[in-house]
């Protein structure tokens, strides 16, 4: 069976070299097309991300998170104004060995309820107060920390007979009940001092000094912990630091330390003008210990130095006649008549208004 085509010569017919497509591809003059496939030349769409825009989006998110955090902090600060707050933790900065020490935790609850109060030495808890527990106080063993339970409460802790091991940093931590469970804390430092049992000891002094003599003395404290701070005084004036020799603390077998401070200088007329040289050494440890020792030695002046000490300072009274001599006059020599009282009596009458005494004993002829 053949197919009928278009009449010959008709454009677009079956006999045409350019057949005209049928408007209904599913059938054509009784011929049925069983199936067909459609292909498309349209490309598949792709998604591209601009890195610059992505960085901008991330920056906006970070800024929003920071604003949210600041808002949260602000809200917490507002709500915490009427809530729990530790005002002050009172820890004595120093205490003597063997004494009792009171630690105070001053706090405000505001509108919140107390959940617990905890005390720490360093990172170790040694005291806990929980009002709903029975008993409310719990004590945990810690070397050097002996709690007096009967004298302790939610706002204070009493430590009995403190020792060197009691020294350290103490923290009070206060927590509120649900739902906030807000917690605040404060800290304080305690130093327990083993004070010296005796006064500082002065060594190396002479019974008397002349102008030009070297003064080389040491001051040694009794054993203590920490080592005592020493200071020298010359004629009640604090010694210049250039005259001090600072030695390293000397440890003892008991774990204590002795301090040694040297004083080296050459005696001058100013040091000996009053007729004596006064050396004083003080020992201190913080605000819990202060002791001192004093040595008084006689000062001797040669006749020449003595005359300069008195005559070179201005007007003065001289001799038993109590005559006034100006600073430009020449003082008469000091004489001694055999059989009379020592000329020191005569010399002692020489006294300028700002010189205490000369303390010169002229040689007896």
Residue 106 is predicted with a pLDDT of 95
Taking a C-beta distance cutoff of 8 angstroms, is the pair 247, 285 a contact?
Answer: no
Instruction: Tell whether the model's pLDDT for residue 187 goes beyond 90.
Output: yes
Q: For the whole model, what pTM was predicted?
A: 0.57
Lowest-pLDDT choice from 85-99, 134-148, 207-221, 292-306? 292-306
Mean pLDDT of 231-235: 96
Residue 154 is predicted with a pLDDT of 94
The hierarchical CATH code for the domain 201-300 is 2.60.40.10
Taking a C-beta distance cutoff of 8 angstroms, is the pair 352, 313 a contact?
Answer: yes
Residue 261 is predicted with a pLDDT of 97
Q: Report the distance separating Cα 285 and Cα 129, nearest Å.
A: 35
Q: Report the distance separating Cα 92 and Cα 114, nearest Å.
A: 26
Residue 351 is predicted with a pLDDT of 31
Residue 70 is predicted with a pLDDT of 77
> Residues 22, 23, 29, CA angle at the centre, nearest 5°?
55
Question: Strand, coil or helix: what is 43?
Answer: coil
Domain borders along the chain are 85-193, 201-300, 301-365
Residue 46 is predicted with a pLDDT of 59
Residue 225 is predicted with a pLDDT of 93
Same fold, 85-193 and 201-300: yes
The hierarchical CATH code for the domain 85-193 is 2.60.40.10
CB burial class (10 A; 0-12, 13-18, 19+) of residue 129? buried
User: Tens digit of pLDDT for each residue in 103-121?
Assistant: 999 999 888 899 999 999 9
Instruction: Tell whether the model's pLDDT for residue 98 goes beyond 70.
Output: yes
Residue 129 is predicted with a pLDDT of 96
Q: What is the mean pLDDT of the chain?
A: 76
Instruction: Tell whether the model's pLDDT for residue 231 goes beyond 80.
Output: yes
């Amino acid at each position: 069976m053949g197919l009928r085509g278009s009449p010959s010569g008709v454009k677009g017919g079956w006999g045409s070299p350019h057949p005209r497509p049928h408007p209904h591809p599913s059938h054509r003059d009784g011929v049925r097309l069983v199936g067909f496939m459609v292909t498309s030349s349209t490309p598949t769409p792709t998604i591209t991300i601009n890195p610059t825009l992505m960085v901008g989006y991330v920056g906006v998110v970070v800024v929003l998170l920071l604003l949210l955090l600041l808002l949260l902090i602000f809200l917490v600060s507002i709500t915490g104004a009427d809530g729990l707050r530790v005002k002050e933790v009172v820890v004595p900065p120093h205490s003597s060995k063997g004494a009792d020490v009171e630690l105070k935790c001053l706090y405000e609850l505001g509108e919140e309820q107390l959940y617990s109060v905890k005390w720490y030495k360093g990172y170790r808890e040694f005291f806990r107060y929980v009002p709903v527990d029975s008993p409310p106080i719990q004590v945990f063993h810690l070397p050097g920390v002996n709690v007096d339970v009967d004298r302790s409460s939610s706002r204070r802790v009493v430590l009995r007979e403190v020792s060197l091991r009691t020294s350290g940093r103490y923290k009070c931590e206060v927590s509120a009940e649900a739902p906030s469970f807000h917690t605040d804390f404060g800290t304080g430092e305690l130093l327990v001092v083993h004070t010296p049992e005796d006064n500082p000891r002065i060594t190396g002094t002479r019974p008397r000094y002349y102008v030009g003599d070297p003064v080389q003395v040491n001051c040694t404290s009794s054993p203590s912990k920490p080592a005592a701070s020493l200071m020298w005084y010359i004629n009640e004036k604090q010694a210049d630091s250039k005259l001090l020799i600072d030695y390293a603390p000397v440890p003892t077998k008991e774990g204590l330390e002795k301090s040694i401070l040297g004083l080296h200088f050459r005696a001058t007329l100013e040091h000996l003008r009053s007729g004596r040289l006064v050396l004083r050494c003080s020992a201190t440890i913080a605000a819990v210990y202060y002791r001192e020792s004093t040595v008084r030695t006689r000062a001797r002046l040669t006749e020449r130095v003595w005359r300069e000490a008195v005559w070179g300072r201005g007007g003065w009274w001289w001799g038993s006649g109590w005559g006034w001599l100006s600073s430009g006059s020449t003082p008469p020599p000091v004489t001694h008549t055999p059989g009379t009282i020592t000329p020191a009596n005569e010399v002692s009458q020489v006294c300028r208004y700002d010189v205490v005494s000369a303390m010169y004993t002229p040689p007896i002829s």
